[in-house]
Structure formats: C-alpha cells, structure tokens
Amino acid sequence: MFCTLHRLVRPALRRQLLPATLDSHPSSRHTVQVRAKTSASFRLLEDCLELNYDGKPMHFNYVWLRDHCRSASSYDPATHQRSVDTGSIDLSIRPDSAAAEDDLITLTWPGGHQSQFSFSWLAENSYEEKKRATVQPRILWNADVYKNANVPSAKWDRFMSCDSELKSFLQNYLLYGIAFVDDVPTTVEATESVTQRVSVIRETTYGRMWNFTSDFSRGDSAYSQLALDRHTDTSYFQEPCGIQVFHCLKHEGTGGRTLLVDGFYAAEKLRQRSPEDFELLARVPISHEYIENTEGHRNHMKGIGPVLSIYPWNNELYLMRYNNYDRSVINSIPHGTVRRWYEAHRELTAELRRPENELWIKLSPGRVIFIDNWRVLHGRESFTGLRQMCGCYLTRDDILSAARCFDLQA
Ligand SMILES: C[N+](C)(C)CCCC[C@H](N)C(=O)O
Ligand SMILES: O=C(O)CCC(=O)C(=O)O
Ligand SMILES: [Fe+2]
C-alpha cells in the first residue's frame, strides 16, 4: 500500500494553503497542531489520505472521502442523511489538492467541489479506531461478580417519572445484561407500562403482552411445570428478540426459581481456553426451529445463525443463540466437522454449567426483570402450584436506541 517514499516534511503549518498537489508532491507530509496535545499530520497517497492523528496512523480512501462529504449538497445535517449519489462517484477519484488549517482539512476534487473534514471526525470514524474500540462496554459476570457489584434496582415511582432513574437502569442493563424494576403493581397493565417506559414492545406469535401459566395452552415446554435448562429465547427467529421481560404475578407453590447465566462470560472463558472451539462456534451456522400445531396455533419459525455472532472487524461478541430444546437438525456442517462442532458445543456447555456461573433468583411479585436475550441465558427450576408469569419481548434496536438517546455507549 505504501508505494511512496516516507518523507517527513514540514513543521506545524497554520493558516497556510498547502501545496499538496498530488502529482508534484505525492508523499509530502503536512503537520498541523490540532489541540494542545494532539497533532495531526497527513499525506496524500496514491489511493488514500494517510492521517497520523495523535500518533496513530489511519487511512481514508478517496472514494470514501467523497462519499462521506458533509457539504450542503452531499449531506443534510437536519435529517442526517446522505444526498450525494454514491453511484455517480468516480471510483478512482483523487483530490487535486488538500489544505489544512487547525483541525480542518479541505479537499478539492476535480471539477472544484470541496469537502471539509475535521481531523477529529476522521479519527473517530476511521477503520483503525473502530477496530481498536469496543462497540458495547460490558461487565461480564459470574454469580459472585454480580452479587458483589450490588447493582441497584430501579424503583417503580421514580422509574416512571424520572429520566435519570431510567438512564441508570439502561446503563446497568447495558453493562450486566440484566436489570430490575421493583415495586411494580402486580398487573399485566403495569408490566406493560414499565416496559413502554423503556421502549416499543415487540409483538410475536406469543402475543404482545403474554401472561402464561403451566396450562399447556401452547405447544412449548415453557407452558408446563418442568424445569428448563439455561437458554436464549426465540433463537428460531432470524433476529432473536433483544429483551425478555418477566414479571411473576403470583406463585402459590414451591420451586420455580429463575436461573440466569451470563453467556458472554462463558463464551469469553471459552475464547481464552480454546480459541479454536470459539472460532468454530462463531463460524458455523446452525438452525433453530419452532413448530407448533395445536388448536388455534400454527407456526413454523426457522432462524439460521451461528451459536456465537461476532463483529468481523474486532471479533467482539454481540449475539449468542443457545437453546438445546429448539436447536433444529444440523445439516449445515460437513460430516468431517460435525464431531468438532459437538466438542466445541460441549466445551461451551461445560462453561455455561459451572455452578459458580449460575445466578439463581426467586422472582417475587412486584419485581420486573429485563434480560438481554442476546447475551444472558435464562432457565427455571420445576415448580408446583399455580404460577402466573407475564411479560413481553422487545427488539434490541429499540432499547439500544433509547440508551443512545441518553448518550450511553451502545
Ligand atoms: C416467553 N414465552 C412464554 C412467551 C414464550 C416462550 C417461548 C419458549 C421457546 N422455547 C423459546 O425458547 O423461544
Ligand atoms: O417460567 C419461567 O420462569 C421461564 C420460562 C421460559 O423460559 C420462557 O418463558 O421463556
Ligand atoms: Fe425461555
């Protein structure tokens, strides 16, 4: 990529138009003092602008720069939408010249159009920065870590009326993948209100708000008194639900505790111990299925994706599908890999089943839990007696959007 000679050129230049004509000075490096401690220097290379910002090298392709132009004719700041027609940009476009002043660089394209970028904006939006950064900071936990953190629950009254209470609830939710609201009236309506305070409810085949008990009203083991091992829900959706909300409205009987396991904690342990297993579970797509054919309910859902989904640019884990009940036929793996996949799955299962990773809680009426269904697995102990659970699902996009609107990193 570096076809040009590296030649450090000038001292800090301010308020001076730089003679950065490509043909005459293809490798000239220009240095600008941006803020007291940040210095930026740049060179126009053959196909990209090379920026050195705060000691970190970054690269911006010219076609990318033209496409990300924030001039009035290219981008509407009111709607935050692009108006430049990307399909009409010459893919080999190169600026005729570049000039820098303070934190701003101005590129002049053939034909005269100018694009202006601040160095700090470029640095923030560079691939190099994206690769280094974490999309969502999290605190991974086992039972002790979570208990010792003493994460406060939100309280219904304040939660419903006070934005700072909602914000700290969202922050806890983002960090730990679970968050609680206490003192909620024990009705479906109040559970709906507390959820809507966060965001939009996702209606699914189970309804909008569901209120279920062990009456076998649906073709799924959740509607029984049986114990359920740790799992993520709706793994059979192409986009599994982002949040699961549970509120136990009533339980007259024994058992029925809720099990919570931080799936990402277990997966990161696996990544450390056995990177090949982690990689296999992240690479191989499998399917989950929900087939229901009961009186009044006919459904056939199918979701395809790996057990672990990671962002390709930084390998950060963002979604786990783990539901051994709903896992469907495996026919997406060649037979030579099947055994390896089962070994990797076994290793992950062993991590998920370590007793120290299990957080057991009894959901008592009035206490609403929000579970990040892309990260935290839930299960339950078998129970006796009447147990009435209500809740709903939310889409992950919606809760993340709510968090971002409070300036939380999500
Ligand atoms: C929560 N609610 C009772 C409505 C539905 C339960 C769905 C259970 C299904 N096996 C799954 O894991 O997705
Ligand atoms: O009954 C419970 O506590 C949870 C059952 C379950 O896994 C579900 O409804 O998704
Ligand atoms: Fe479930």
Mean pLDDT, contiguous 10-residue spans, the chain (410 residues): 29 36 57 78 96 96 98 97 98 97 96 98 97 97 98 98 98 98 98 98 97 93 97 98 98 98 99 98 98 94 98 98 98 95 98 98 98 98 97 98 98
Going by CA atoms, what residue is nearest to atom 8 of ligand 2? 222
CA of 378, closest atom in ligand 2: 7
- pLDDT of the residue at 245: 98
Query: Residue 64: CB partners within 8 Å, gap ≥ 6?
Result: none
Ligand 2, residue 233: give the atom nearest the CA: 10
Maximum Cα interatomic distance, the chain, rounded to a whole number of Å: 84
Residue nearest to atom 9 of ligand 2 (CA): 222
The residue to which tokens 């981008």 are assigned: 75
Residue 8: its pLDDT value, please?
A: 30
Which has the closest alpha carbon to 353: 190, 123, 168, 143? 143
3-state class (DSSP) for residue 145 = helix
Considering the four listed CATH numbers 3.60.130.10, 3.40.50.300, 1.10.3720.10, 3.40.50.620, the one that applies to the domain covering 143-405 is 3.60.130.10
pTM metric for this prediction: 0.92
- Report yes or no for ipTM above 0.90: yes
Domain 29-132 has CATH 3.90.45.10: no
Q: Which atom from ligand 2 is nearest to the alpha carbon of 379? A: 7
> Is-contact 343 350, C-beta < 8 A?
no
The burial of 382, by beta-carbon neighbours within 10 Å (0-12 exposed, 13-18 middle, 19 or more buried), is given as middle
Ligand 2 lined by 222 (C-beta under 6 Å): yes
Per-residue pLDDT, 36: 62
Cβ-contact 316, 134 below 8 angstroms: yes
Alpha-carbon distance 32 to 43, whole Å?
12
Sign of CA dihedral 160, 162, 167, 172: negative
Are 135 and 318 in contact by the 8 Å Cβ rule? The answer is yes
Q: What one-letter code names the amino acid at 171?
A: Q
Phi, psi of 397 (to 5 degrees): -50, -40
CB within 8 Å of 330: residues ≥ 6 apart: 286, 287, 338, 341
Domain spans, the chain: 29-132, 143-405
**How many Cα atoms within 13 Å fall on the side-chain side of residue 311?**
11
What is the rounded CA–CA span in Å between residue 121 and residue 53? 11
Strands 376-380 and 258-262, sheet pairing: antiparallel
Would you state the pLDDT for residue 30?
85
Distance 222 CA to ligand 3 centre (A): 7
| Cβ < 5 A residues, ion ligand 3 | 233
Helix (H), strand (E) at residue 302: strand 297-305
Q: Give me the pLDDT at residue 184, please.
A: 98
Q: What count of other Cβ atoms lies within 10 Å of the Cβ of residue 308?
A: 26
Q: Are 172 and 234 a contacting pair, CB within 8 Å? A: no
User: Which tokens is 332 given?
Assistant: 């997406």
Q: Got the DSSP string for 246-268? A: EEEEEEESSB--EEEEEHHHHHH
**247 CB within 6 A, ligand 2:** no
Return the bridge partners of 344, or none. Answer: none
Backbone phi, then psi, for 290, in 5-degree steps? -130, 110
Beta bridge partners of 32: 40
Does the beta carbon of 378 sit less than 6 angstroms from any atom of ligand 2?
yes
**Binding site membership of 222 for ligand 1 (Cβ less than 6 Å):** yes
Residue 250 to residue 213: CA distance in whole angstroms: 10
Query: What's the CA-to-centroid distance between 230 and ligand 3, angstroms?
Result: 8
